[in-house]
Amino acid sequence: MGSERADGAPPVRAFSLSKRYGDVLAVDAVDLTVQAGDIYGFLGPNGAGKTTTLRMMLGLITPTAGHAELFGRDPMREGARALDGVAGFVEAPRFYPYLTGRRNLEMLAALDGGDAAERIDSVLELVELAPRAVHRVGGYSHGMRQRLGIAAALLRAPRLLVLDEPATGLDPAGMRDMRELVRRLAGEGITVLLSSHQLPEVQELCDRVAIVNRGRVVYEGALTELRRRGGAGYRLRTDDDDAALELAAAAPGIEDVRASDGGIALSGQEQAIARLSVALGRSGVAILELTPELATLEQLFFRLTGEESSDAGAGDEVAALR
Amino acid sequence: MSAAGAPAAALPAHRRRPSTATVYAWELRKLARQKRAYVGFFLAALVPVIFVVSQGIRGHHGHGQAGLFLAQVTQSGLATPVVTLIFMSLFLLPLIAALVAGDIVAAEDGNGTLKTILTRSVDRGQIFAAKVLAAATYAALAVFLAALVATLAGVIIWGFHPLTSLSGTVVSAPKSLALIAAANAFYLIPLFAVVSIGILLSTVSRNSAGAVVGTLGVTLVLAIVGSIPGLGGLRPYLLTTQYSAWQGLLHTPTDWTPIVESVWVCALYAVPCLLAAYLVFLRRDVAGG
- A98, B33: Cβ pair inside 8 Å? yes
Q: Is the model more confident about B141 or about B227?
A: B141
pLDDT band at A261 (very low <50, low <70, confident <90, very high): confident
Distance CA B103, CA B213 (A): 10
pLDDT tens sequence across B151-162: 999 999 999 999
Closest by CA position to B211, among listed B77, B92, B105, B90 = B105
In a domain, B5, yes or no: no
Contact between chains at B30 and A99 (C-beta distance less than 8 A): yes
Q: How far apart are CA B256 and CA B249, in angstroms?
A: 7
| Lowest-confidence segment of A57-71, A300-314, B124-138, B254-268 by average pLDDT | A300-314
CB contact under 8 A, B15 and A84: yes
Q: What is the pLDDT of residue A230?
A: 61
Which of A89, A113, A190 is the closest to B17 by Cβ?
A113
pLDDT reading at A6 higher than 70 = no
Q: Is the pLDDT of residue A314 over 60?
A: no
* Confidence band, pLDDT 50/70/90 cuts, at residue B2: very low
Long-range CB contacts (< 8 A, 24+ apart) of A169-174? Answer: A169/A92, A169/A142, A169/A143, A170/A142, A170/A143, A170/A146, A171/A143, A174/A143, A174/A146
Q: Which positions ≥6 away from B27 have C-beta within 8 Å?
A: B104, B130, B131, B133, B134
Let me know if residue B6 belongs to a domain: no
* B287:A91 CB<8 A: no
Please indicate whether residue B143 or residue A261 has the higher confidence score (pLDDT). Answer: B143
Of A91, A94, A126, the CB nearest to B1: A126
For residue A28, give the H/E element and its range: strand A24-34
pLDDT at residue A87 greater than cutoff 90: yes
Which residues from A are below 8 Å from B5, CB to CB? Answer: 126, 154, 157, 184-185, 188, 190
Residue B132 lies in a domain: yes
Q: What is the pLDDT of residue A307?
A: 60
If one compares A269 and B279, the residue with the highest pLDDT of the two is B279
Residues in A closer than 8 angstroms to B289, CB to CB, are 91-92, 94
Q: How confident is the model at residue B99 (pLDDT cuts 50, 70, 90)?
A: very high
Helix (H, G, I), strand (E, B) or coil at B71: coil
Q: What are phi and psi of A219, to 5 degrees?
A: -155, 135
Q: Look at chain B and report how many structural domains it folds into.
A: 1
Which of B33, B123, B283 comes nearest A62 by C-beta? B283
Q: Pick the residue with more confidence: B255 or A312?
A: B255
Q: How confident is the model at residue B17 (pLDDT cuts 50, 70, 90)?
A: confident
Q: Is the pLDDT of residue B42 over 90?
A: yes
Band (B71; pLDDT cuts 50, 70, 90): confident
Q: Tell me what percent of the residues of chain A surpass a pLDDT of 90.
A: 66
pLDDT of residue A304: 80
Which domains are present in chain A? 12-227 (3.40.50.300), 232-294 (3.30.70.980)
Given an 8 Å threshold on Cβ–Cβ distance, is B119 in contact with A122? no
Grouping H, G, I as helix, E, B as strand and the rest as coil, residue A257 is: strand
At residue B193, the pLDDT reads: 98
Does residue B10 fall inside a structural domain?
no
pLDDT band at B13 (very low <50, low <70, confident <90, very high): very low
- Are the beta carbons of B239 and B269 closer than 8 angstroms? yes
pLDDT tens digits, residue range B109-129?
Answer: 999 999 999 999 999 999 999
Mean pLDDT of A15-32: 95
For B120, which of A95, A112, A159 is closest by C-beta distance?
A112
Q: Pseudo-torsion of CA A123, A127, A133, A135, nearest 10°?
A: -150
Name the nearest CA neighbour of B158 among B88, B89, B86, B81.
B81
Q: List the one residue out of A168, A188, A197, A164 whose CA is nearest residue A58.
A: A164
B274, B199 Cβ separation under 8 angstroms: yes
Chain A: closest CA distance from residue B105 (Å): 13
- Predicted confidence (pLDDT) at residue A168 exceeds the cutoff of 50: yes
- Closest Cα in chain A to B30: A99
Average pLDDT over residues B214-237: 92
Q: Tell me the residues of B at the A interface, defined by beta carbons under 8 Å apart.
A: 1-9, 11-12, 15-18, 22-23, 25-26, 29-30, 33-34, 111-113, 115-124, 283, 285-287, 289
Please, what is the average pLDDT of chain B?
91
Q: For the stretch A127-162, what's the b/e string if a residue is b when 16 or more beta carbons lie within 10 angstroms of its beta carbon?
A: bebbebbeebbeebeebbbbbbbbbbbbbbbbbbbb
**Whole-number CA gyration radius for chain A:** 23
Residue A201 pLDDT greater than 90, yes or no: no
Higher per-residue confidence, A258 vs A59:
A59
How many other C-beta atoms lie within 10 A of the C-beta of residue B85? 27
Assigned domain for B81 exists: yes
State residue A312's pLDDT score.
Answer: 37
Report which listed range, A189-203, A215-229, A260-274, is most confident: A189-203
Pairing mode, strands A160-164 and A86-89: parallel
pLDDT at A320 over 90: no
The alpha-carbon gap from A215 to the nearest alpha carbon of chain B, in Å, equals 16
Whole-number pLDDT of residue B64: 64
B8 is a domain residue: no
Give the tens place of pLDDT for each residue, B189-207.
Answer: 999 999 999 999 999 999 9
Q: What is the pLDDT of residue B58?
A: 63
Mutation target vs A (from B119, B128, B279; most A CBs, 10 A cutoff): B119
Average pLDDT taken over every residue of chain A:
87
Model confidence at A56: pLDDT above 60: yes
* Alpha helices by DSSP H, A142-269: 142-154, 172-187, 199-205, 223-230, 241-250
Q: A70 to chain B, minimum CA–CA distance in Å?
A: 13
- Is 50 exceeded by the pLDDT of residue B282? yes
Q: Is the pLDDT of residue A322 over 80?
A: no
B3 CB neighbours in chain A (<8 A) are 119, 122, 157
The C-alpha atoms of residue B18 and residue B122 are separated, in whole angstroms, by 7
Q: Which helix (H) or strand (E) holds B32?
A: helix B20-32
- Rounded CA-CA distance A236/A281 in Å is 13
Going by C-alpha positions, the residue among A104, A37, A181 that lies closest to residue B7 is: A37
Task: Evaluate whether A298 touches A318 at the Cβ level (below 8 Å).
Answer: yes
Give me the residues paired with residue A100 across strands. Answer: A136
- Mark out the alpha helices in A188-283 (DSSP H runs): 199-205, 223-230, 241-250, 270-282
DSSP string, A51-73: HHHHHHHTTSS--SEEEEEETTB
Q: What is the pLDDT of residues A216-235, one digit of tens each?
A: 999 999 887 777 666 567 88
Q: Which residues contact A117 (CB under 8 A, 6 or more apart)?
A: A106, A109, A110
Indicate whether B136 belongs to any domain: yes
CA gap B182, B96 in Å, rounded: 20
| pLDDT score at A232 | 64
Segment A286-300 shows an average pLDDT of 78
| A-B C-beta contacts closer than 8 Å | 139
How far, rounded to the nearest angstrom, does the alpha carbon of residue A244 sit from its chain's CA centroid? 37
Least confident of A215-219, B53-57, B72-76, B125-129: B53-57
pLDDT at B1: 38
Q: From residue B259, how far is each of A166, A262, B69, B135 by CA, in Å?
A: 57, 86, 20, 23
8-state DSSP, B121: S
Domain containing residue B146: 18-283
Measured CA angle at B12 (ends B3, A147), to 5 deg: 35
Asked if the Cβ–Cβ distance from A159 to B8 is below 8 Å, we say: yes
Please give, rounded to a whole number of angstroms, the shortest distance from the CA of B132 to a CA of chain A.
Answer: 17
Listed range (A221-235, A252-266, B1-15, B249-263) with the worst mean pLDDT: B1-15
What residues of chain A lie within 8 A of the CB of B18, using their CB? 110-113
**Model ipTM?**
0.88
Tell me the shortest Cα–Cα distance from B286 to chain A, in angstroms: 5
Rounded CA-CA distance B179/B199 in Å is 30
A112: nearest CB among B5, B25, B121:
B121
- Report helix, strand or coil for A49: coil
Q: Rounded to the nearest 5°, which phi and psi values hold at B148?
A: -65, -45
Indicate whether B11 belongs to any domain: no
Q: Residue A190 is nearest to which of B5, B11, B118, comparing CB atoms?
A: B5
Q: Residue B102: CA atoms inside 13 Å, Cβ hemisphere, count?
A: 22
Mean pLDDT, rounded, for B264-275: 98
Report pLDDT for B63: 58
